[in-house]
Amino acid sequence: MLLAVLVLLTCCKEKEDNGDTATIEEKSEASIVEEVPSNSKTVLLPTYNFEGLSERYFEATNDTLYVMNFWATWCKPCVKELPAFEQLRENYSDKNVKVVLASLDFPDKVESQVLPFIKNKNLQSEVVLLDDPDGNTWIPKVSRDWSGAIPATIFLQNGERKFFEQSFTYESLEKEVQTFINQQS
Amino acid sequence: MKRKHLLLEIVVVLVTIGAIYGFTTKSSTPNLPTFADGYSIGDEATDFELKDVDGDMVSLSDYPDAKGYIVIFTCNTCPFAVASEDRIVALDQEFKKKGYPVIAINPNNPEVQPDDTYELMQAKAKEAGFTFPYLYGGYKTVYAAYGATKTPHVYLLQKENGKNIVKYIGAIDDNVRNGDAVKERFLANAVNELLAGKEVTVKETKAIGCSVKQ
């Protein structure tokens, strides 16, 4: 199993290192760290640039299956599918499945829109703010298949990834989760 | 000896390909959605005839003197589109006179996205001071032909022997949220390279946008 993971990781690295994104990634490496400060008042939502998000979830080495959904309060199809993710969280909370809702709302809208939205919808899943304006650098790191349109969802477990640029119903979401769980056992 | 070495190399290559293939199939979507379709760099882009906010029908062929076109799929209310409005106007002002006018197309179906009706597009063009055509009806076929998946989504075309060839696809620049914090103007750089008779260096970029509403 460990060997399989190692092989996967190596492939993953190879995959990222070659191809058309290489030059772009190289060039903007510096801008990942150097975050553009927003009109930062007190931010009450865990906020990461992509590097931070990646360290916390993409590179996590526990057995947790992270289901990360990229969304925003103003994105209608995103808001429409949120109940499916909430239901997944509820039904799979004891099965080592963790839903992470990565908001792409503008940082200056956190207080006026995102926090009230979380409260009104009574969202129980973990919500984080992905504050990283240079999408050209980090979007290909999520998946080279991603055009940048939201909603989008990635399943992450021990270095394994599966990415979808689409909307989910609860059924289609659960089906993917089951696939991951079955692979583990 | 040499032959043995070669054989070993072939085996290594095959194993590597197998591993990469295995990883790719495992990690990518089995049923790829439509965003994989549409134009790639070097493809010939189709012309179209769509209704502008002033009532006129507009086609690329209406610009016989143009050297190319900055085709931007955008819409009325997507925050990323709204954040880009001033920059799109500035691009038109900078490059129209140099032979690359902006042609904006709204790809959203107003029945799905009521913020993008023809009337609201007219209001938007007026309020935002659009100096370029803002075309309605892109949701019927044009967005799919181009492969636009989000707003804003840019296609830079250059006229070559009467054909419109795709030279750049992607984002306006490296900071879709805030024009003041831009470090690299991907689109403007590409147009300037074409104007200088050079090949576009950065041909494709990615940015977060609102999905096209169909």
- Pair of tokens at residue A68: 């990360």
Could you tell me which of B201, B176, B181 has the C-alpha nearest to residue B191?
Answer: B201
Residue B31's identity, in one-letter code, is: N
Contact check, Cβ <8 Å, B33/A165: yes
B33, pLDDT greater than 60: no
Structural domain contains residue A22: no
Structural domain contains residue A26: no
Distance from CA of A149 to the nearest CA of B (A): 5
pLDDT band at B37 (very low <50, low <70, confident <90, very high): confident
Q: Is A9 exposed, middle or buried (0-12, 13-18, 19+ CB in 10 A)?
A: middle
Contact check, Cβ <8 Å, B174/A136: yes
B31, pLDDT greater than 60: no
Structure confidence by residue, pLDDT tens digits, B38-63? 999 999 999 999 999 999 999 999 99
Sign of CA dihedral B2, A15, B157, B43: positive
- Residue ranges in chain A whose pLDDT is less than 50: 1-41
Structure confidence by residue, pLDDT tens digits, B112-160? 999 999 999 999 999 999 999 999 999 999 999 999 999 999 999 999 9
Q: Nearest chain B Cα to A136, which residue?
A: B206
Structure confidence by residue, pLDDT tens digits, B200-209? 999 999 999 9
Could you tell me which of A44, A174, A48, A47 has the C-alpha nearest to residue A117?
Answer: A44
Which residues of chain B are within 8 Å of residue A36 when distances are taken between CB atoms? 175, 178, 181
Does A143 reach chain B within 8 Å, measured CB to CB? yes
DSSP, residue by residue, A139-162: HHHH-TT--SEESEEEEEETTEEE
**Domain range for residue A126?**
2-13+31-184
Structural domain contains residue A104: yes
Contact A89, B160 (CB under 8 A): no
CA A180/CA B189 separation, integer angstroms: 43
Contact check, Cβ <8 Å, A11/B177: no
Q: How many CB atoms lie within 10 A of CB B23?
A: 20
Q: Please report, for the domain that includes residue A140, its CATH number.
A: 3.40.30.10
Does B110 reach chain A within 8 Å, measured CB to CB? no
Structural domain contains residue A141: yes
> What's the confidence (pLDDT) of residue A23?
31
Which residues of chain A are within 8 Å of residue B149 when distances are taken between CB atoms? 147-149, 165
Could you tell me which of B131, B119, B121 has the C-alpha nearest to residue B74?
Answer: B121
> What's the confidence (pLDDT) of residue B29?
36
Structure confidence by residue, pLDDT tens digits, A128-175? 999 999 999 999 999 999 999 999 999 999 989 999 999 999 999 999
Task: DSSP letter for B199, please.
Answer: P
Which residues of chain B are within 8 Å of residue A150 when distances are taken between CB atoms? 208-211
Which residues of chain B are within 8 Å of residue A146 when distances are taken between CB atoms? 206
Structural domain contains residue A136: yes
> What's the confidence (pLDDT) of residue B113?
94
Contact check, Cβ <8 Å, B35/A12: no
Q: How many CB atoms lie within 10 A of CB A40?
A: 12
Q: How many CB atoms lie within 10 A of CB A49?
A: 20
Q: How many CB atoms lie within 10 A of CB B10?
A: 10
DSSP, residue by residue, A34-101: SPPP-S-S---S-EE-HHHHIIIIIT--SS-EEEEEEE-TT-HHHHHHHHHHHHHHHHHGGGTEEEEE
Contact B35, A151 (CB under 8 A): no
pLDDT band at B27 (very low <50, low <70, confident <90, very high): very low
Q: How many CB atoms lie within 10 A of CB B51?
A: 16
> What's the confidence (pLDDT) of residue B117?
97
Chains A and B form CB pairs within 8 A to the count of: 118
- Please tell me which of the candidates A11, A28, A161 has its beta carbon nearest to residue B19: A11
> What's the confidence (pLDDT) of residue A17?
36
- Pair of tokens at residue A97: 């499945």
Task: DSSP letter for A128, please.
Answer: E
> What's the confidence (pLDDT) of residue B149?
94
CA B97/CA B85 separation, integer angstroms: 19
Structure confidence by residue, pLDDT tens digits, B58-115? 999 999 999 999 999 999 999 999 999 999 999 999 999 999 999 999 999 999 999 9
What domains does chain B contain, in order, with CATH numbers?
30-211 (3.40.30.10)
| H or E stretch covering A103 | strand A97-103
> What's the confidence (pLDDT) of residue A83?
98
Average pLDDT on B176-182 reads 92
Does B149 reach chain A within 8 Å, measured CB to CB? yes
Mutation site for B-interface testing, chosen from A136, A143, A182 by largest number of B Cβ within 10 Å: A136
Q: Where would I find the beta strands (DSSP E) of chain B?
A: 50-52, 57-58, 68-73, 102-105, 134-136, 150-151, 153-160, 163-170, 209-211
Does B171 reach chain A within 8 Å, measured CB to CB? yes
Structural domain contains residue A24: no
Could you tell me which of B184, B192, B211 has the C-alpha nearest to residue B70?
Answer: B192
> What's the confidence (pLDDT) of residue B20?
44
Structural domain contains residue A79: yes
How many C-alpha atoms does B118 have within 13 Å on its Cβ side? Answer: 10
Q: How many CB atoms lie within 10 A of CB A178?
A: 11
In chain A, the number of structural domains is 1
**Would you call the peptide bond into A77 cis, given omega within 30 degrees of 0 as the criterion?**
no
Contact check, Cβ <8 Å, B149/A149: yes
Structural domain contains residue A25: no
- Tell me the pTM: 0.78
